[in-house]
Structure 1
Amino acid sequence: MRTRPLVVALALAGAAVLPAAVPVAAHGDTVHLDVSGQRNGRVSTIATWEDDHDPVTGEFTGTLAATATDGRTVGPWRLVAVPGEPGTYTTREILPAGHWRVSVDCAFPSPGHGEGELDVEAAVIGDSPLSGATGATTGAPAPIPAPAPTAPPTVPTAPTAADSAARARSAARDTPSDTTPDAATWAAIGTAVAAVVLVATGFWLRRR
């Protein structure tokens, strides 16, 4: 009699757990990783379940590493989810320009691995699948505006013969003539005339 309540409790617990376990079993136990491309040096990786190809969402732990044809290596970098694109992951770091062989690995919720080759051009500042912003190309300095043209300095020119003659004529007009009597000359003339008049008057009076 005591075993019947225990069996009923186990049955109810199994019935509650079974619906949640069925979807997990349908996904399978392997994650498929596909290197789908790159945007502005950030590699895009699509993670799906191996059995039903549903996107892998929720908690995810994955990394990316890459090797260039010239021997450069980067990573491992952490894969982060791209907002609004379920099952798509990228990195916050940017691959430099070059030809790269990329490998991605997943540790949780299930193991997975993927590889691909990409050609990456110079990155653009602010152009990121994580933000959606665009900016200017790195390594290309902003154009420097050309300086405004300045007027050439004025160079004095040598006076010509005509200019010299004109200046001479102007100076002659402005300078008083030496033949023009000034105030002293007129005073002397007046004094002489007055003397003559006095002498003539005195002579006339004597004759009277």
Structure 2
Amino acid sequence: MNKTLRHAVTLLLAGLVLVLGASAASADNGPIKLEVTGDGGHNVNVVATWKNGKPVEEIVEATLTAKSADGRSFGPVRLMSASEGQNVYQPAEPLPNGEWNVTVTATKPSKAQAKTKVTAQDLAASPMAAAEAATRDRVAAADSDDSTDSSLLKIGLIVLVAVLALGAFAVIMRRRGLYARR
């Protein structure tokens, strides 16, 4: 392979690495936003997104505290990754029955705080709440799958364009006589 072709291939591969690296790094900068909702039962769902709306793919370190109107307190309880989605978190312990003013405080990957009111109750007491929680779970799982599919599609398209560009470059070099087999 002659020197010009080697340089072109090196530049193409370096550009590909920069594009892939830049897109991965750009998604994970800046402040995060927390959305806190009750699940209709004794649990709380916390969805972590970057301010640009993309899901936080890093591990979020956060705690939940709660105060009731009658003076009871709950927490701090550490949040754990939930099975509902990549950027969904739940407290390690369920909330006791009652009306709660919930505060979630994140420290990593950036500081954030969110507050909401939640009613914790047995799901048997509220069939509508159970149906709403199941719908939210399906939506969160579908959103997580969509973002993964979108990322894989983007990477595939970038690789395809790079291969086509390299092939076109080789054909041009061969026709101009700069690419000679030795």
TM-score of the superposition, structure 2-length normalised? 0.53
Q: Give the partner amino acid of 2:26.
A: A
Structure 1 spans left out of the alignment, 5+ residues: 1-11, 130-208
Cα distance in structure 2, aligned partners of 1:18 and 1:111: 28
Q: Following TM superposition, by how much is the alpha carbon of 1:32 offset from its aligned partner in structure 2, in angstroms?
A: 0.3
* Counterpart in the other structure of 1:139: none
Q: Give the partner amino acid of 1:73.
A: S
Checking the alignment, whether the CA contact within 8 Å between 1:96 and 1:123 is kept in structure 2 is no
Aligned to 2:37, the other structure's residue is in SS state: strand
Task: Report matched runs for 1:33-112 at 5 Å.
Answer: 33-51=34-52, 53-112=53-112
Q: Following TM superposition, by how much is the alpha carbon of 1:108 offset from its aligned partner in structure 2, in angstroms?
A: 1.2
Structure 2 spans left out of the alignment, 5+ residues: 1-12, 125-129, 135-182
Deviations 1:8-67 (A, max 9, x none): xxxx9998577434433344311100112225311111111112x111123221111111
Cα distance in structure 1, aligned partners of 2:15 and 2:59: 25
Cα distance in structure 1, aligned partners of 2:84 and 2:45: 14
Q: Following TM superposition, by how much is the alpha carbon of 1:119 offset from its aligned partner in structure 2, in angstroms?
A: 1.3
Decide which structure has greater helix share: 2
Q: Give the partner amino acid of 1:24.
A: A
Shift of the 75–13 alpha-carbon distance from structure 1 to 2, 3 Å rule, reads farther
Shift of the 41–112 alpha-carbon distance from structure 1 to 2, 3 Å rule, reads same
Shift of the 80–43 alpha-carbon distance from structure 1 to 2, 3 Å rule, reads same
Cα distance in structure 2, aligned partners of 1:78 and 1:123: 23
Q: Give the partner amino acid of 1:89.
A: Y
CA RMSD of aligned residues (A): 3.1
Deviations 1:102-153 (A, max 9, x none): 01111111222111101111478xx9x9xxxxxxxxxxxxxxxxxxxxxxxx
Percent pairwise identity: 30
Checking the alignment, whether the CA contact within 8 Å between 1:28 and 1:50 is kept in structure 2 is no
Aligned to 1:95, the other structure's residue is in SS state: coil
Checking the alignment, whether the CA contact within 8 Å between 1:94 and 1:123 is kept in structure 2 is no
